[in-house]
Amino acid sequence: MKHATHLTDLLTIHFRENRMSPPDSLRTTAIRSVITEFLQQRLAAKLEKLAEDDPKRAELQAQFQPAAWLGDAARRVGQIQAVTHSLKPIHPEAKGSSLYREPSSLSPLDELGSHALGDAFDTDVVGNAAALDVYKFLKLTHQGQSLLGLTAQADADLGAALSDDAAQANAWMATFAGLSEARGGLSSHTLAKQLYWPVGDDPHDDTGYHLLAPLYPTSLVHRVYQTLQEDRFSEEAKAAREARKAGHWHERPVREYPHLAIQKLGGTKPQNISQLNSERRGDNLLLASLPPVWRSAEVRPVLGTVSLFKVFRHRPEARRLTLLLRRFLEGDPASNLATRTQRGEWVEALLEELMLFTAEQQTLEPGWSSGSRCKLPAAHRAWLDPDGESDPVPDLIDELAQDFANWLNHELCDPLPMGDPEYLRWRKQARELFKAMEREGVL
């Protein structure tokens, strides 16, 4: 053959050659109802923004007639592509190919990868964000099957629901079924990343390498995000943390993800990256890639001092971060977003180090703070030894946030002029973090 037949042409031939049994009128009606309800909901959302006498209402009503909308959707489906591996997250301006590969079709590896998803995975969509409504249409389900899946099966009942004209229905289904087809020939781009991967035994042999163009495993990333959200914020996870805090057994294990980072993709328009990225509001979670830190010194209770911060300030990481913040502020940086962001990141890092210090203290035998050698105020005892015998502190979070702000102002006041504005800023940031930890059941 001189050239390969285009996938859409193959699908069209498939629809013509696979003459199926006559449509089931009841099933056809049910599928048509799913489609009609979808169109009516989208139309209603647009009409409610217009006045009753707005001439655009009639135009919109005409656009959302099933035949008109479906024909337009069939034209626009070529502007988007269903993918499992996307190029856009590598660089938003890259114009190369993204790919759709069912995870179960990938070669199994010992390492974690998209192949581990099996048959249960979320398909992503890239392309013109204005055409994502077409994908939402194809995600509609009837009896557990998506319309996209039905188009690939040349489902006769779906065809009858789309149009009374069998030829028109088959053409639309063939077009919709090509959603996962790569647009144009496979290609990379100057803004895409590339790497040489050794396949030979001699690293000096330039021919012993494959040039790889890595793509973002968007379906796998979405599964990771869903799993972490479930482990962090679900009602069951919160109940398990509460049970652990109370010393009770719970059937669900508690899973923690320390030093978690969030990579934002797409800025204020995450839909420009992909559909799943939009559903995550641009959040892409990154697990810590850190070597284990060996700590040989045993954890000792905070005794003989009137403030936990007198001990905390001597921690190497606390000293390092305080010094970085002091030097940064001594440079009299401009009052702009970049300055506020950098300052906030160092303060947040200090607060995270404080939470690590707190977690270490809470590994001690409960009740250590009730001894005569402990000089800490009630709020500090309740914070570091929550299961001890100290009296409850009603405004514990507020008190600790205030103490943190006072301590940080004191650490920075020589030579910096620290005052009420800085105190209020540190207190607000500390209180927000403590409240977030409380909501997650950590405090």
Q: Where exactly are the structural domains of the chain?
A: 7-79+128-180, 294-443
Close Cβ partners of 88 (under 8 Å, ≥ 6 residues apart): 94, 98, 126, 216, 272, 273, 274
Among 23-37, 48-62, 258-272, 303-317, top mean pLDDT goes to 303-317
pLDDT in tens, 5-33: 444 454 444 444 444 456 788 999 999 99
% of residues, the chain, pLDDT over 90: 46
Least confident of 173-187, 224-238, 327-341, 370-384: 173-187
Query: What is the pLDDT averaged over residues 348-357?
Result: 93
Does residue 210 sit in helix, strand or coil? strand
Which H or E run contains 212?
Answer: strand 209-212
The number of beta carbons lying within 10 Å of the beta carbon of residue 327 is 9
Amino acid identity at 18:
N
Confidence of residue 43 (pLDDT cuts 50, 70, 90): very high
For residues 86 and 98, is the Cβ–Cβ distance under 8 A? yes
Mean pLDDT of the chain, nearest integer: 87
Query: What is the pLDDT averaged over residues 385-404?
Result: 88
pLDDT in tens, 160-214: 999 989 899 899 999 998 888 777 778 889 999 999 999 988 989 999 999 999 9
Query: What is the model's pTM?
Result: 0.56
Confidence of residue 443 (pLDDT cuts 50, 70, 90): low
% of residues, the chain, pLDDT over 70: 93
Query: What is the pLDDT averaged over residues 140-165?
Result: 88
Amino acid identity at 222:
H
Please say if the pLDDT value at position 419 is more than 60: yes
The stretches of 257-336 forming alpha helices (DSSP H) are: 275-279, 309-312, 316-330
Q: Is the dihedral of CA 373, 378, 381, 385 positive or negative?
A: positive
Query: What is the pLDDT averaged over residues 80-92?
Result: 91
pLDDT at 246: 83
pLDDT at 4: 37
Query: What is the pLDDT averaged over residues 91-106?
Result: 89
Query: What is the pLDDT averaged over residues 102-130?
Result: 88
pLDDT at 132: 85
Least confident of 132-136, 210-214, 350-354, 412-416: 412-416
Confidence of residue 442 (pLDDT cuts 50, 70, 90): low
Measured CA to CA, the distance from residue 170 to residue 164 in angstroms comes to 11
